[in-house]
Structure 1
């Protein structure tokens, strides 16, 4: 009997990130933190640094991290550096059901 754990995890990860990837095209203006989604075999910190940004927060998850950047090309640069998707803070707020001003 073959072990199907790794392929199953890849399929589940793809399904779990699909909604975020769909939102990743919603505006590439970064006026706040962004969620950079990376494959588990890539270091999110390296991807973010290569794209010209920096990590935000004390930790990063297996599939990505929160990052900040000061230029509009960050999203494209992060994808070129190996990110699967980049979701800006407005899209993250929309996922959570927040509308209007999301300043904290």
Structure 2
């Protein structure tokens, strides 16, 4: 007779894959020039200053404690964001898809 506990590793593996795969898709999505991006920085960092000092502007009305949406026409916007203190730059369109927003 099989015990349900013996299936626990397989169940945990499936749950892990189903939750991590969408996050990896967003993090690994290539950035498109001129499209909105999500800028992630340290807690307490001035996100507006980081985006504006990088040659961009903040878009949207809501913001997270460590992230903001930004856009720019500058060619090396991603590099400038990193130089000015951004921890990560994520594709805004991919993130909106993950959140269920239709564009």
Q: Which deviations, in whole Å up to 9, do the C-alpha atoms of 1:52-99 show, x marking residues without a partner?
A: 10000123221010111112311111011001011123432553578x
Instruction: Name the CA distance, whole Å, in 2 between partners of 1:23 and 1:50.
Output: 25
* Cα-Cα RMSD: 2.8
Length, aligned pairs only: 82
Higher helix share: 2
Higher strand share: 2
Q: Which residue of 1 aligns with 2:90?
A: 87
Runs of 4+ in 1 over 3 A off after TM superposition: 19-26, 93-98
TM-score by length of 1: 0.61
Asked which structure has the greater CA Rg, the reply is 2
Unpaired stretches in structure 1, ≥5 consecutive residues: 1-18
